[in-house]
Structure 1
Amino acid sequence: MSRVSRLLKNNHACTLPEKDTTGLPKLPPNATWGSKVFRHIRKLFILNPNHFKCKSLFRNKSAVMEERKRHATSRYFYVIHPLSRFNMFLEATFFITWAYAIVCGMLTIWLGGFLIIQIYVIFPIRVLLILLFFNVGYIDKKTKQIVIESRKIIVKYLKTYFVFDIFSCYVLDIFTDIWIAVTGKFPLESQEIWHEVMLIIRMAASCVRINTLLNFFNNTLSGLNCNKTMRILLVYLMRTYIYVHIFALLLFLIPFFLHSKNWPPSSWLHQANINVESTDPFVIYLEALILSICYFFGVAYKYDITLLNEQMVLVLVSFIGRLYTLYLLADVLRVFGIAGVSESMYERNMYVLNQYMTDKDLPSKLQARMLKYFEFKFQRRYFKEKEIINTLSDTLRTELFLFSARKLIQKVDILKRLPNATVGAIIASMKSETYSPRDVILKLGWETNEIYFISTGTVAVLNKHGVELCHLEDGDEFGISCLVAREQIHTIVAVETTEVFIIGKNQLIEFLGPYPDLLNRFIRTAKQKLSSMKDLEAAASRETVDLLSELQRGNILETRSKKMVAY
């Protein structure tokens, strides 16, 4: 079996020297341990290529590495990247501390143990998180761009959640202590009422962050490789529990504040025989939680609610419960791609593809490759591109082609130097092809008159012995040997899912005809690249010499040279 065949059969195992893809400056061999530790810490701050969001934000590994390098070499290198390992840790910590504050922290009105943990453990962690959020980048939801500029990060946080995060902590307690130290009295006449007011403010401020908490919970589960169905189920359960938990607290706290532990006979607390002084706090909480769940989902309970303030709370609980049920149904439809037209068409075509592969009894590896190709090609959306393009005017069509291939234009030298009209005509004349990993795009000896430009992806260049010479990435071209010979002199294999634009040699030369300097420049550059490939091939041939024969000749084990000694 040839080396090319083995490459196609197995996963791509790169034989080229490994490159440092962090974008960080290399350390000298005699670097101190402090420099090494600092470098490892910086690695935690930059983009993690294995982050689950990379697949949706970047089309290939090259784009991921480019973003990583952009962050590492920018003036904002100290900013925590939103797709970094450290930010994943911050999100998990945020979820734990804010969930504790919402669930357990609200019970501190009668459970002193929770109050101690809240003040001495959770509070310092939350303050530290608030400070770190001024240095964490974010993803712009409209443009899908990653923002790492410090000023934008600070302004965004100040305009959104900073005030709520501050008030959800025990900041008011600190101000209260300062007020007492200055004036010698409480802000309100009753110390108990003031503590109750501060509790309500903390509750309201913490609830503002419920969606953020659930998003971070979902991200944490995704980082732990939890499957989609289980992840959605756990997030919905967490959301539902938080809502009924808040209403359970309201069902207890409103009578507690209004009647100060002396429940009227018509109160549900009196009917449940609840006494704050003697009843177990967890029993009180469970009774309130059951009552909240029943009215939230429209189920009757054993208590006869006749008190006006309790009736108003339960009406609110029932109303929001109905709205939440409708929201839950709509969100499930949205998540599973049934609500949107393009998403439903995509799901329907995916279903047809799966049925086709099952009917043909295709092997699992081939099925996985076809599914990956389909997902890359349509990006979870399905539409008839040709019909849309045919309805556009020539001007709009040209602008669309220029925008679609903007990354290619930025990286291909000749396209950057041509007028927009000519570039648009060239792009319109190209055909786009997508190749799955391990697909042979060109093979040594094939006759072709087409030149390939890589839009996104990576390909490997192999010589006649199947030895890997180099990788070509976004903006590189191959197939250029057709300019000097009839047959291809290298084999080109896709390393990852790769999209290329293809144009005929004669057609490209015709477009470049009015620009002879650019045409000569392109041909000259192509010959230089082919010459570089020959140098790489010669180096690879020297490395594949039989080591055993070299050992027998004594060419490898040679006498050690004497070190020069300075006297």
Structure 2
Amino acid sequence: MEDETRYLHSRCQLLHQDEEMINELIHTGIFISFRRNIWKWFTLDKNHPNTQLYYQSETSRREEQKRHITLYKYRLIIHPFSLHNFYWEIFMFFTYIYMLVVYALDDMHIFRRAFSINVFKLIGDSIFLLDVIHFFFQGYYSTEKSKTVLLQKHIIEHYLKTYFLVDLIAISPSIAIICDWLEYIDGENSPIFLLVSIFGIVRLLRIPRWLNVIDLFKSYKDYPHHIFKAAKIIFIYVVCLFVSYTAMIILFNNIYAVKHTHLSFSAKRYLVATMIIMLAAVGSSEHLDTYIYTVEVIIVFTIAAFVLQMYLYANIFRMWNIFFIARNKIFNHFLEIQHYLQSQGIPIALRNRVTNFIDFKFQIRCYDEEDINYLVSHVLRQRVMLHLARKHLGNCRLIQNLPDRILFKLVAKFNSEIYLPNDFIIAPDSRNKHHNIYFIYFGRVAVYDSKGSEICHLEDGESFGEEDALCRYINIGSVVAVSACELFRLRIKDLFNILEDFPDLKDTIITEARERQLRLSEA
């Protein structure tokens, strides 16, 4: 039985993948179990939410693990799709919230002694300093190259060009606090110290990272997408509320400091509490102050809070419409379109073509693509598009052998176009002058030569235009839709940009296009 199993694996030329790649690579030396557990924590893991998106097959995951473990120059690098990185991102998410609360408490003057709140700030910024160091040893996935970058030189260069300066400025308040403790500067009277103390607010530029952690956690736990969509909206609302509140307190303190007006501790607490209520309710409250600058600040932030609440209500209303609008409105939409066409005096033949177009596109189901994209996650959208491309365009010679990572990019560049019977897709005079490649998603088209003679009919899953676009050879005179059809149009410029890092695939596609051109010429 063992010999038969070995023969089957030899016959299909596949590796026996029952054992994990880490166990195969780490099998000698001391502390084998300990070393394996360490590498499992820091290398690519199939349980990471993004692993299934970028490394869908078991073979690709094993090859990536092998590349990470065996190459010495990657030994100190943490894989971006490792469990360590996943849990680190979650930990940093709560650290961001922790610092947001600390800054809010500082502005509320709950701590009478500045030393106490500064200790909390120093603890948070120490963690952020570790996060900065962590980024120098954390790989990243390059969507341009469709691979994970693990070379430290490129990692450092990428981080320096993106968020390094933001992260460095964000921890500068703790540096100023240490300088104050060491008596290098006078924290109470130094204007530079007061200015640097608010630099931590620049962490708001890292909100995309916070939202990405929410998406990762949703994918990891497989929770409904609309619940997390609502959670993200509320999260953005709360963060903006905190920021508005912090900015208000800073302005108020500066106003009173400049005007040399003393404000007691109890009065500050009352003022802060009233401001929070005002921002939350977006309404009027008790009379705060007759000072004109104070009133102006209150008016500005009341308007800002009103806009913020409108954003919250608009998103809630949009989700409500998507989930709860009755389907009988579909027929009302079609009826409104028919009445509009009739009122505009559109000829019956043209009205029928518009009706046929709507029937073909929506299939008696009226929908809003923006609403669907709003609710569906980015990962699911990519999987749906990849499935449609593989299912309906799998027989197309141009893309049938392309790996998923490249097909993802091509699908993202597709432009959907619908044609009714007898519509010109490529007119006789245009000769595909824009150099586009067309993929037939559904329907049938007729191809004519420059003399007007019919060459062939093409159906679902086939393509045309690549000979003219890739070989710069005018072989097609025109293309006409025989039935109602939906096509995917791809610009040759986009194709070459995607294949720029894959010269072998580019040469293969051009070779196949030339072979097809010769066959059409001989026919």
Superposition TM-score, scaled by structure 2 size: 0.55
- Cα offset, 1:197, TM superposition: 2.7
Q: CA shift at 1:155, angstroms?
A: 1.9
Q: Are residues 1:386 and 2:439 paired?
A: yes
- 1:19 match: 19
Q: 1:291 to 1:141 in 2, by over 3 A?
A: farther
In 2, Cα distance between the equivalents of 1:217 and 1:140? 21
2:101 maps to: 103
Q: Does 1:240 align with 2:293?
A: no
Structure 1: distance between partners of 2:75 and 2:366: 47
Letter in 2 for 1:128: L
Q: Offset of 1:86 from its aligned partner?
A: 0.7
Give the deviation of 1:41 after TM superposition.
1.2
Write the deviation string for residues 427-451 of structure 1: whole angstroms up to 9, x where unpaired: 999xxxxxxxxxxxxxxxxxxxxxx
SS at match of 2:223: coil
Matches within 5 A, 1:468-483: none
Offset of 1:243 from its aligned partner? 0.3
- C-alpha displacement at 1:18, in angstroms? 0.6
Aligned equivalents of 1:236, 1:278: Cα separation in 2? 34
For residues 58 and 119 of structure 1, do their structure 2 counterparts lie closer, same or farther at Cα, with a shift above 3 Å needed? same
Instruction: Say whether residues 1:277 and 2:281 are aligned partners.
Output: no
Provide the C-alpha distance between the structure 2 equivalents of 1:403 and 1:246, rounded to a whole number of angstroms: 41
State the Cα distance separating 1:48 from its structure 2 match.
1.5
Give, in angstroms, the shift of residue 91 of structure 1.
0.6
Q: Deviations over 1:261-298 (max 9, x none)?
A: 9998xxxxx9xxxx7523695x7654322222344xxx
Q: Distance in 2 between matches of 1:132 and 1:401?
A: 36
CA offset at residue 252 of structure 1?
2.4
In 1, the alpha carbon distance for the partners of 2:145 and 2:309 equals 30
Preserved CA contact (<8 Å) 2:218 2:225: no
Equivalent AA in structure 2 for residue 292 of structure 1: L
> Contact between 2:42 and 2:83, CA under 8 Å: does it hold in 1?
yes
Equivalent position of 1:40 in the other structure: 37
Structure 1 stretches of 5 or more lacking a match? 1-13, 265-269, 338-344, 354-368, 430-506, 508-567
Taking a change above 3 Å as real, the CA distance of residues 348 and 57 of structure 1, as seen in their structure-2 partners, is farther
Write out aligned runs for 1:480-519 (5 A): none
C-alpha separation between the residues in 1 aligned to 2:158 and 2:85? 17
For the structure 1 residues 408 and 37, does the alpha-carbon distance in structure 2 shift closer, same or farther, using more than 3 Å as the test? same
CA 1:160–1:407 in 2, change beyond 3 Å: closer, same or farther?
A: closer
Retained in 2: the 8 A contact 1:244–1:292?
yes
Partner of 2:189: 190
Q: CA deviation digits over 1:317-336, x for unaligned, max 9?
A: 625853785699689989x9
Counterpart of 1:173 in structure 2 is: 177
Residue number in structure 2 paired with 1:267: none
Residue in structure 2 matching 1:258, options 249, 255, 263: 255
Partner of 2:159: 157
The amino acid that maps onto 1:156 is H
SS of corresponding position for 1:253: helix
Hey, what's the Cα distance between the residues in 1 that align with 2:75 and 2:161? Answer: 24
Aligned residue pairs: how many? Answer: 366
Alpha-carbon spacing, 1:423–1:241, altered in 2? closer, same or farther (3 Å): same
Alpha carbons of structure 1 residues 332 and 394: separation in structure 2 relative to 1, 3 Å:
farther
Query: For 2:226, which of 225, 229, 233 is the aligned residue?
Result: 229
Query: Does 2:311 correspond to 1:311?
Result: no
Return the index of the structure with the highest Cα Rg. Answer: 1
Report the Cα offset of residue 211 of structure 1: 2.8
Shift of residue 148, structure 1, vs aligned partner: 1.8
Q: Aligned residue for 2:83?
A: 85
Aligned 8 A contact 1:81 1:137 in 2: yes
Residue 202 of structure 1 corresponds to which residue in structure 2?
A: 200
Match for residue 396 of structure 1? 470
Give distance in 2, aligned partners of 1:103 and 1:256: 19
- Does 2:210 correspond to 1:213? yes
Normalised to the residue count of structure 1, the TM-score between the two structures is: 0.52
Paired amino acid for 1:160: T
* Fraction of identical pairs, as percent: 17
Letter matched to residue 92 of structure 1: I
Secondary structure at the counterpart of residue 251 of structure 1? helix
Q: Greater relative contact order: 1 or 2 (C-alpha under 8 angstroms, separation 6 or more)?
A: 1
- Structure 2 distance, partners of 1:279, 1:19, is 68
Residue identity matched to 1:39: R
Alpha-carbon separation, structure 2, partners of 1:151 and 1:174: 32
CA contact under 8 A between 2:77 and 2:150: conserved in structure 1?
yes
Q: Distance in 1 between matches of 2:288 and 2:510?
A: 78
Residues 249 and 73 (structure 1 numbering): CA distance in 2 closer, same or farther, change over 3 Å?
same
Deviations 1:388-420 (A, max 9, x none): 94344435289899999999997xxxx99x977
Deviations 1:314-360 (A, max 9, x none): 425625853785699689989x99xxxxxxx9x9789899xxxxxxx
CA offset digits 1:214-237 (Å, max 9, x no partner): 322332343333321121111211
For 1:84, the aligned partner's letter is: S
**CA distance in 2 between partners of 1:352 and 1:59 (Å):** 33
Distance 1:158 1:373, change over 3 A: closer
Indicate if the aligned counterparts of 2:47 and 2:83 stay in contact, CA closer than 8 A: no
Spell out, residue by residue over 1:496-526, the C-alpha distance to the aligned partner (whole angstroms, 9 max, x if none).
xxxxxxxxxxx9xxxxxxxxxxxxxxxxxxx
**CA separation in 2, counterparts of 1:393 and 1:404?**
19
- The aligned runs of 1:274-423 (5 Å cut-off) are 276-278=264-266, 285-295=272-282, 299-301=283-285, 303=287, 307-312=292-297, 314-315=299-300, 318-319=303-304, 322=307, 325=310, 374=388, 377=391, 383=416, 386-387=439-440, 389-396=463-470, 422-423=511-512
1:134 aligns with 2:136: yes
The offset of 1:258, in angstroms, is: 2.0
Matches within 5 A, 1:424-503: 424=513
Provide closer, same or farther for how the CA distance between residues 82 and 245 of structure 1 changes in structure 2, counting only shifts above 3 A: same
> For the residues of structure 1 that align with 2:363 and 2:76, how far apart are their CA atoms?
45
1:148 aligns with 2:136: no
Distance 1:145 1:15 in 2: 23
Q: Secondary structure at the match of 2:74?
A: coil
> RMSD over aligned Cα, in angstroms?
5.1
Is the 2:470–2:513 contact (alpha carbons within 8 Å) kept by the matching residues of 1? no
CA 371–422 in structure 1, closer or farther in 2 if over 3 Å, else same: closer
Return closer, same or farther for 1:150/1:15 CA change in 2, 3 Å cut-off. closer
Contact 1:79 1:148 in 2 (8 A): yes
SS of the residue aligned with 1:81? coil
CA-CA distance at 1:303 after TM superposition: 4.8
Task: Indicate conservation of the 8 Å contact 1:71/1:77, yes or no.
Answer: yes
| Conserved 8 A contact 1:255-1:310 | no
